[in-house]
Chain A
């Protein structure tokens, strides 16, 4: 195990309410060199998906938690051996992680052969039979591996993949009698019939994909670079359990599991999808979104009010500021920034909209932690990073904060606390041209503001003589969805009226 000089990588605390996380993807494999703060793995919790940077520099000595496994906060995920540190081939092989021991010299492979069988009870079957990892680094203890060898071992035929998905078993853990040890339909049916599949504590079905240095496909970012460009592509955190034929390479890792379940036991829902339909496992984020949306509707009494805002002055102000903000600060003053600024100011006068029902108490605040709903690409999920103490920011600060949080959300760089503690939320689906909506409140908040497309419309205004004239004005619909348990319609209307007044009277002093 640890030589004492190794640095432990632990499952980080992803916010106060989060007690566990799922390893979605290792960006480095055992044996890879890594520099401090270089992204090491991706994790997923019900709050956030993020990368975990390496806490030390050296070589990834050991990976203890495989992709798809969910573990408690604080669990050691991997060990980093400092550069130049001892390669410690002689250390005793620990039961749970022995097969991970990684050494640069192939000779070391011989070592585990001598291990008494009893010392490595669980995992060996699949690792021993892992054909792709022919490089001699591997070392599952050779417990009478039922599986054959050769190329067939990891190929999963369509029918086997389908049956496996239906029954939630991993073909990688089933003894194969087909060509090259391939798991045949008969094998998997016999396995299921034997009841082995429903006895998930049995060691066999636990897949232990053995990371092998040679197999690394992820181009390692230059070690010295503090901001590697990799994360943008790192969307595979959402990698679903294969509902369709599994890829041939290493035994499919278990799907990201619901947090409560131990990885080996939880079967993905049967995918007996009728022809033309496709099933995939929910990502942790999607599950979180789903659960939260439902719970919010079950909790709050949602009511939505809408108001039309003449954005003429905001449009003009934005035109004026745009060049300056862009050239001097590299920040785009979006409409959202204006609205956020105005909304935060307005909330000061309507504290319940920024409040919360806590038990039988009403909580109001002197500060606004403003959540900004950000949709991830391809419908991968929704996340609400929070601008803390938004009341402290001027327009430039709000604009910058929104841009930074959005970027962090999309590149999975949000820190746990970036998504915690919001008191009010703005969602902005107007970019798609929608003019109305009824968003769902982010619990335990009391309100969510929806902003929609700015559209030029004929609008009745008064000229300087007090005469009604029809003018062309850039109009925006703004909705407030509020919890009627706390906020009444008149109160919400007052908030919207004042917000509109603020936006329509936007002046230099408001920036």
Chain B
């Protein structure tokens, strides 16, 4: 056990997978010599050789298509998008081919797409998005959004083992900012099991990714006001842990669904709708959503701060719910 950054945990996990399983290889733009846009694969080419750490042309379509083909041939590719935003270039390969291959032909596509996502550092509209809900909508894909170093390591190992295309959203704002104790050995963290980041009993915040920390800070503020806030980290969106959500709703009866993605069509809507369908009689207040406004992510730091839900925004929403 050692304290690691979120980024280091991902890098460690990937390295362990490549040591464990010869079928695992990485491919992406500048993942080899350069060590990846965020240095997740730094030193990988030295250890595993250029044939398992492939620098690819500047074509996300080629990367995802190549990974899909390799998976069909029995490999376990882990492809890196420099930014999650760019996965849209490979939409067709991912959504039309990879997601449906098993349904059409019975052949599994065990690929992992590592998708550095999220904002908070003035990346602007092309380098700050959280497109998880777009892919959560596609049957055949799995969507993973770890919030802690420990989860990042365990969930990446599970992703590599999974026989389906898995979109692994790594929040860039967590990369070097978030540290945590991470076991040294290999372990897997199951998909579809939420994690109680902070137990509470008055209001539940359901969230994932970087918003877990925003929610936790807001919960700390509310604790000073004698409001006990539970923070539930979903960890994975597809599959997502309905049982944990409904259980928490049954206890607290007031719910805030929080995400950094924009609001309309965001995955929070799915959660809110499920709560309304399955836990209506548990509710003591309307299910509240807090998300980014429906706009591209702005460059300007002041605007971006207004765009991404901040601790004060969350605290205000929690206060309203508590008072309802």
Q: Interface residues, chain A, CB within 8 Å of chain B? A: 157-162, 178-179, 182, 184-186, 245
The chain A residue sitting closest to B282, CB to CB, is A159
**B280: chain A residues within 8 A (beta carbon):** 158
**A161: chain B residues within 8 A (beta carbon):** 281
CB distance from B287 to the nearest CB of A (A): 11
**B283: chain A residues within 8 A (beta carbon):** 157-159
**B281: chain A residues within 8 A (beta carbon):** 158-159, 161-162, 245
Whether A179 lies near B324 (C-beta < 8 A) is yes
Complex Cα gap A160–B283 (Å): 8
Within 8 A of A (CB), among B239-282: 253, 280-282
Complex Cα gap A157–B285 (Å): 7
CB distance from B28 to the nearest CB of A (A): 47
Complex Cα gap A158–B284 (Å): 6
Whether B324 lies near A184 (C-beta < 8 A) is yes
The chain A residue sitting closest to B286, CB to CB, is A157
Complex Cα gap A160–B280 (Å): 11
The chain B residue sitting closest to A275, CB to CB, is B278
**A160: chain B residues within 8 A (beta carbon):** 284
Residue B323 at the chain A interface, CB threshold 8 Å = yes
**B282: chain A residues within 8 A (beta carbon):** 158-159, 162
Whether B284 lies near A179 (C-beta < 8 A) is no
The chain A residue sitting closest to B250, CB to CB, is A159
The chain A residue sitting closest to B201, CB to CB, is A186
**B323: chain A residues within 8 A (beta carbon):** 178-179
7 more CB-based (< 8 A) A-B contacts, given A158-B283, A178-B324, A184-B324: A158-B281, A159-B283, A160-B284, A161-B281, A178-B323, A179-B324, A185-B253
Q: DSSP class of A's interface residues: helix, strand, loop or mixed? A: helix
Whether B284 lies near A159 (C-beta < 8 A) is yes
The chain B residue sitting closest to A179, CB to CB, is B324
**A157: chain B residues within 8 A (beta carbon):** 253, 283-285
**A179: chain B residues within 8 A (beta carbon):** 323-324
Complex Cα gap A185–B251 (Å): 10
Within 8 A of A (CB), among B201-229: 202
Whether A182 lies near B324 (C-beta < 8 A) is yes
The chain A residue sitting closest to B323, CB to CB, is A179
The chain B residue sitting closest to A184, CB to CB, is B284
Interface centre among B280, B283, B284, B323 (most CB of A within 10 A): B284
Complex Cα gap A184–B253 (Å): 10
Complex Cα gap A159–B323 (Å): 16
Whether B284 lies near A185 (C-beta < 8 A) is yes
CB distance from B257 to the nearest CB of A (A): 17
CB distance from A488 to the nearest CB of B (A): 56
CB distance from A188 to the nearest CB of B (A): 9
**B253: chain A residues within 8 A (beta carbon):** 157, 159, 185
Complex Cα gap A419–B149 (Å): 78
Complex Cα gap A157–B283 (Å): 7
**B284: chain A residues within 8 A (beta carbon):** 157-160, 184-185
CB distance from B9 to the nearest CB of A (A): 39
Complex Cα gap A162–B284 (Å): 10
CB distance from B96 to the nearest CB of A (A): 38
**A186: chain B residues within 8 A (beta carbon):** 202
The chain B residue sitting closest to A160, CB to CB, is B284
Query: Closest 5 A-B residue pairs measured CB to CB?
Result: A185-B284, A162-B281, A157-B284, A159-B284, A185-B253
Complex Cα gap A253–B316 (Å): 37
**A184: chain B residues within 8 A (beta carbon):** 284, 324
Complex Cα gap A184–B282 (Å): 12
Interface centre among B281, B323, B324 (most CB of A within 10 A): B281
Complex Cα gap A160–B323 (Å): 15
The chain A residue sitting closest to B284, CB to CB, is A185
Complex Cα gap A160–B254 (Å): 12
Complex Cα gap A179–B324 (Å): 5
Complex Cα gap A160–B324 (Å): 13
Complex Cα gap A178–B322 (Å): 8
CB distance from A163 to the nearest CB of B (A): 9
CB distance from B162 to the nearest CB of A (A): 32
**A182: chain B residues within 8 A (beta carbon):** 324
Q: List 27 A-B contacts (CB under 8 A).
A: A157-B253, A157-B283, A157-B284, A157-B285, A158-B280, A158-B281, A158-B282, A158-B284, A159-B253, A159-B281, A159-B282, A159-B283, A159-B284, A160-B284, A161-B281, A162-B281, A162-B282, A178-B324, A179-B323, A179-B324, A182-B324, A184-B284, A184-B324, A185-B253, A185-B284, A186-B202, A245-B281
Complex Cα gap A158–B281 (Å): 5
**A185: chain B residues within 8 A (beta carbon):** 253, 284
**B202: chain A residues within 8 A (beta carbon):** 186
CB distance from B203 to the nearest CB of A (A): 11
Complex Cα gap A160–B282 (Å): 8
CB distance from B19 to the nearest CB of A (A): 48
The chain B residue sitting closest to A245, CB to CB, is B281
CB distance from A208 to the nearest CB of B (A): 25
Within 8 A of A (CB), among B266-319: 280-285
CB distance from B272 to the nearest CB of A (A): 14
The chain B residue sitting closest to A185, CB to CB, is B284
Complex Cα gap A185–B285 (Å): 9
**A178: chain B residues within 8 A (beta carbon):** 323-324
The chain A residue sitting closest to B254, CB to CB, is A185
**B285: chain A residues within 8 A (beta carbon):** 157
The chain B residue sitting closest to A180, CB to CB, is B324
Complex Cα gap A103–B178 (Å): 70
CB distance from A277 to the nearest CB of B (A): 12
CB distance from B47 to the nearest CB of A (A): 54
CB distance from B279 to the nearest CB of A (A): 9
Complex Cα gap A160–B284 (Å): 7
Complex Cα gap A157–B163 (Å): 44
CB distance from A157 to the nearest CB of B (A): 5
CB distance from B217 to the nearest CB of A (A): 24
**B324: chain A residues within 8 A (beta carbon):** 178-179, 182, 184
The chain A residue sitting closest to B283, CB to CB, is A158
Complex Cα gap A179–B323 (Å): 6
Complex Cα gap A162–B280 (Å): 10
Complex Cα gap A161–B280 (Å): 11
Interface centre among A161, A179, A182, A184 (most CB of B within 10 A): A184
Within 8 A of A (CB), among B169-227: 202
Complex Cα gap A114–B114 (Å): 74
Complex Cα gap A118–B120 (Å): 63
Complex Cα gap A179–B320 (Å): 9
Complex Cα gap A179–B285 (Å): 10
